[in-house]
Amino acid sequence: MKNNITSKQIILWTILIIILQIFLSLIFSKLFKTNWSFKNTFCNISSLVFWIVYIIVNIIIWKMTKR
C-alpha cells in the first residue's frame, strides 16, 4: 500500500505547526511573564532542533513518495 502524501499536505501541516508554535509560545510567555516576540518563538534552541528534525522528516517523506 502506497501513501500519497502531496506537497500541499506538507505545506498545510507546516502552516498548522507554525500557528501551534506561536500559540504555545504566547501561552508560555503569559505563564512565565516574559516578553513575547517572533524572534523568541523561532530562535530558541528547542525550536531550532524541532525545525531541523521536521525538515528532515519532510524530505524523507517526499523522497519516499517520489519512488
- Domain assignment present for residue 2? The answer is no
Residue 18 lies in domain: 7-66
The answer to pTM > 0.85 is no
Query: 29 near 35, Cβ under 8 Å?
Result: yes
Number of domains in the chain: 1
* pLDDT tens figures, 46-59: 677 777 888 888 88
- Domain assignment present for residue 1? The answer is no
Q: How far apart are the first and last CA of the chain?
A: 13
Nine-digit cell string for 24: 504555545
- Domain assignment present for residue 62? The answer is yes
* pLDDT tens figures, 4-48: 667 777 788 888 888 887 787 777 777 777 666 666 665 666 677
- Domain assignment present for residue 19? The answer is yes
- Domain assignment present for residue 27? The answer is yes
pLDDT of res. 1: 42
